[in-house]
Amino acid sequence: MCDHYATAQELHQQGSHLVSTDEKTGIQALERKHPTRPMIPGKVELREFEYIRHGTQTLIANFEVATGQLITPSIGPTRTEADFVAHIGQTIATDPDAPWIFVVDQLNTHKSESLVCLVADLCALDEDLGVKGKSGVLQSMATRAAFLQDLTHRIRFVYTPKHTSWLNQIEIWFSILVRRLLKRASFTSTEELRERILAFIDYFNQTMAKPFKWTYAGRPLVV
């Protein structure tokens, strides 16, 4: 995976897309009961600690490693297998003939039957995928993951090792979203939350986007 990050610019020049993808679930639309009192000489800012809950949203996002931009974000109330597959299909549709490499974690929805079927269809792979739980590519999560990682496929997935989600660069961007928008904001509805997240993504892409300087080479951090 770190080798992929190191070659991101070269892949981009060749027309390939290397993207870090993940879901940020349970983003709360919290409305502060009273407005924040701004800082004045001699007094710090006073922020209301009581809030009203208006529900949650899930953001599925792609961080393009070579450009540092967020592409085709999806925001909705759920995080299901269907949501993830729809997001991947929507992402690929922006450049349907290009090679795509998705860096994802080990979540079971990232190794699903419907994701295998989507990749097989978009790559025009004319082969019997078998039956889920019984035979062929679809037999188990391990066989599906092996298919999705196949280096010969135009669309493939790279999985972070278990318990190392920090290796996925989208997690760094999620922390930026929290610090810059979610931590201090007040939202009166899930619709407002969604609109402001999308507006922040547009702002980020126009003014802040740049590739992360990745220095970890995938070697043990201790001897």
DSSP the chain: -HHHHHTHHHHHHTT-EEEEEEEEEEEEEEEESSPPBPPBTTB--B----EEEEEEEEEEEEEETTTTEEEEEEEES---HHHHHHHHHHHHTTSTTS-EEEEE---GGGG-HHHHHHHHHHTT--S---BTTTBSTTSSHHHHHHHHT-TTSSEEEEEPPTT-GGGSTHHHHHHHHIIIIITT---SSHHHHHHHHHHHHHHHHHHT---------SS-S--
Say how far apart CA 55 and CA 214 lie, in whole Å.
35
Instruction: Kindly report the CATH number assigned to the domain that includes residue 51.
Output: 3.30.420.10
When divided into structural domains, the chain yields a total of 1
Phi and psi torsions of 169, nearest 5° = -65, -20
- Asked whether residue 223 carries a pLDDT value surpassing 70, the answer given is no
- pLDDT score, position 141: 95
Q: Which residue, 63, 57, 51, is CA-closest to 18? A: 63
Kindly report which listed range (71-75, 188-192, 212-216) carries the lowest average pLDDT score: 212-216
Give the CA radius of gyration of the chain.
Answer: 20
Nearest-angstrom CA–CA distance, 167 and 212: 12
Give the pLDDT confidence score for residue 32 in this predicted structure. 86
Helix 190-207 / helix 170-177 crossing angle, nearest 10 deg: 120
- Print the domain residue range for 110: 2-207
Taking CB atoms within 8 Å and a gap of at least 24, the contacts of 29-38 are 29/53, 29/54, 29/55, 29/56, 29/57, 29/187, 29/188, 29/189, 29/190, 29/192, 29/193, 30/54, 30/186, 30/187, 31/186, 31/187, 31/188, 32/186, 36/184, 36/186
What mean pLDDT do residues 189-201 have?
97
Q: Is residue 218 part of a domain?
A: no
Tell me what pLDDT residue 221 has. Answer: 53
Asked if the structure places residue 219 within a domain, the reply is no
pTM of the model: 0.90
The answer to whether residue 134 is domain-embedded is yes
Q: What average pLDDT does range 162-188 have in this prediction?
A: 92
The region that residue 218 occupies, defined by phi over 0 for left and psi between -120 and 50 for alpha, beta otherwise, is left
pLDDT band at 111 (very low <50, low <70, confident <90, very high): very high
pLDDT of residue 95: 97
Residue 221 forms part of a structural domain:
no
pLDDT in the model for residue 88: 98
Give the type of residue at 155.
Answer: I
* 110 lies in some domain: yes
Give percent above pLDDT 70 in the chain.
Answer: 96
